Structure 1
Amino acid sequence: MPYTPAGQELANAHQLVILNIDSQGKAATVPSGRYDAKSGSVVFKTTEFSRYAVAYVTKSFADVQHVLWAKEAVEAMAVRDIIKGVSDDFAPAVSITRADFITLLVRVLELKGPGTNTAVFSDVQPTAYYAQAVAISKELGIAYGFEDNTFKPSSISRQDMMVLTAKALKAAGKPSAGSGNLAPYSDAATISTYAVDSVTSLVGSGIVNGKGGKIAPTELLTRAEAAVILSRIWATH
């Protein structure tokens, strides 16, 4: 949709969103919508005919001021309802759970399962808020779980995040292009064998840039880091 932002909209183009307005007048944010300066338009993907509108939405969290490197990413994901805050804050330094991250991946890539009713993992209750996202990820071959048929929805390491992300991009038909160079990262040798290919591809595509000159593969993924990863996926796909 051709669009010319002005003032605050131009300065904060990441807060320009596309709304899908149904027959009842209810508006829902289209996750993929974003402003493209080169074409002078707001671009998005959709699978249905409907009414669409451009909107400038602002969401901010006071505690994100402490992690300015993630501020724009957090805001971009929040205004699209991809990621949410914790009460009135965002809690950027808090570790994100595996369940939450897979839910956010499914949401940002707008993934749909084939509906094969694949049995979920033994530790994922059907009533859990993340159950549908986990089921979709299992159907699409993103999440295989562990040998004991568990998903372990609690914490997630950075290298496991990269494995899930690489598989999700492939499932969405948008695999990471190219192969990155891990030599500049001082801890590259500590990456688990099962994660090396995923880490390499995400470094090559710019989705992962490391953390203080390291990959930090076994460190737990924080909410701020997750928001940045998601925003890079959103911006390039």
Structure 2
Amino acid sequence: MENLAFIIRVLLFKGILGPFVKIVLGVKFRYDERPCFDQPKIIVANHNSHVDAIAILCSLSIKDLKRVHPVVARDYFYRNSFTKLFAKLCLNSVSVSRSRQFENPLKQCESLLESGHSLIIFPEGTRGNANEMKDFKQGVSILLKKFPNVEFVPAFCEGFGEILPKGQWLVLPSNSFLKIGKSKKVDRSREVSDITNYIRKSILELRY
């Protein structure tokens, strides 16, 4: 089943969504450096649209599609059998709860990092309006403080809110790009709030 899911993921992101995102939607991909995921990393990006995660997954190599997991909201993506199947089979996602019903909502994320896998996290926690960045939640900072050898990869999504705005399903081409920055480490001695501010600053720097 795992091999079948990987084949489906490769066909989807390399054969269908990749060309669609680049040719039809006109998304441009820019890199300060192409990250290597032989060691666990956390891609951290702003969030305006579902296109954000799709574009990041399209930017990965085929082998990385097996070991990089978007972190999604359990209450949204696991709300029914269809969306849950899509999130797990196609996105290779891991879910977290936005409520306080779990003692450690980051437990699955920690397990993946411990096993050498990587994550995609949107610290805003939900999609914002186009060209607006919400305050960051601290989950990714907590993970980086706990795993000091795990680097984060800042990524900036520009224009995706116009392609697929929150609450709408009409996809329109837009002048948009995904910028991937250089991998960075954080100082685990710093406060979680300081790490969060550093991550936010690293993402915003890619905008210019």
Q: Same fold (TM over 0.5)?
A: no
Comparing both structures, which one devotes a greater share of its residues to strand?
A: 2
Larger RCO: Structure 1 or Structure 2 (Cα < 8 Å, ≥ 6 residues apart)?
2
Task: Give the TM-score of the pair, scaled to structure 2.
Answer: 0.29
